[in-house]
């Protein structure tokens, strides 16, 4: 879960950040992680989708999995689960391919749409990277949910783009300070793989890393 040494943050961390800022900080600042059934299921789905370098041409659509992306402006880096490239005379050139192509990012999730809009924001961040890399405009993308087997179309509005930029800017501020926000107990805590490490009830007294250190000393 480590971030790049050059000050870039992991794009995938945006989803953690929107879900819970403390969860993001525990993973990306304090370098803590623990699996549960939900995270293992999610990893399994992404392993089926992610095949770095895989491309498949279906008619006039080229499918590219695990495409690396990066934004110098936002200082984030990561991968797109899937980028569909559609032949389009108003598209952009792609190295090694003839013609012009329109980019359409697709993010894969194991569950169903959430209330916080984290999936849409992660998709939007991917689109911002692609737009910067290919010097193009991407008005929409989609999120595919494994539980519902449904693809949700996402319009990448100015308001959504603004929310993404603001969230990433806050991530950088917290990361540079090395600050882990205090816990706020919510219903989502029950399904969080880090709930035992987070210890929401103790968050006002000690940090999660300090809690882990003490627990290790007690076991020694």
- Regarding pTM above 0.95, the answer is no
Closest listed residue to residue 153, CA positions, set 164, 139, 161, 141? 141
The mean per-residue pLDDT over the stretch 138-157 comes to 95
Q: Which tops the pLDDT comparison, 198 or 209? A: 198
Per-residue pLDDT tens digits for 5-61: 578 999 999 998 998 898 899 889 988 865 543 444 444 445 555 555 567 888 889
Does residue 72 carry a pLDDT above 70? yes
Q: Which tops the pLDDT comparison, 46 or 194? A: 194
Residues 6+ apart with CB under 8 A from 84: 61, 62, 63, 64, 103, 104, 105, 106
Closest listed residue to residue 211, CA positions, set 7, 38, 15, 30? 30
For residue 34, the model assigns a pLDDT of 58
For residue 42, the model assigns a pLDDT of 45
Average pLDDT over the chain reads 83
Does residue 215 carry a pLDDT above 60? no
**Percent of the chain whose pLDDT exceeds 70:** 75
Structure tokens at 94: 């792609």
């Amino acid at each position: 879960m480590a971030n790049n040494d050059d000050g870039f943050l992991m794009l995938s961390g945006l989803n953690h950040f929107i879900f819970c800022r403390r969860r993001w900080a525990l993973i990306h600042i304090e370098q803590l992680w623990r699996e549960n059934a939900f995270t293992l299921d999610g990893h399994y789905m992404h392993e089926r989708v992610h095949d770095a370098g895989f491309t498949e041409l279906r008619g006039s659509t080229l499918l590219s999995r695990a495409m690396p992306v990066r934004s110098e402006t936002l200082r984030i880096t990561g991968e797109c689960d899937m980028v569909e490239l559609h032949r389009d005379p108003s598209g952009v050139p792609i190295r090694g391919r003839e013609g012009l192509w329109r980019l359409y990012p697709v993010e894969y999730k194991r569950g169903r749409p959430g209330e916080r809009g984290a999936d849409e924001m992660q998709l939007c961040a991917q689109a911002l990277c692609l737009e910067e890399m290919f010097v193009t405009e991407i008005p929409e993308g989609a999120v595919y949910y494994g539980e519902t087997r449904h693809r949700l179309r996402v319009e990448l509005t100015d308001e959504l783009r603004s929310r993404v930029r603001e969230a990433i800017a806050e991530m950088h501020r917290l990361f540079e300070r090395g600050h882990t926000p205090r816990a706020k107990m919510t219903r989502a805590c029950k399904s969080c793989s880090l709930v035992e490490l987070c210890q929401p009830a103790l968050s006002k007294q000690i940090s999660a890393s300090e809690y882990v250190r003490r627990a290790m000393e007690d076991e020694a």
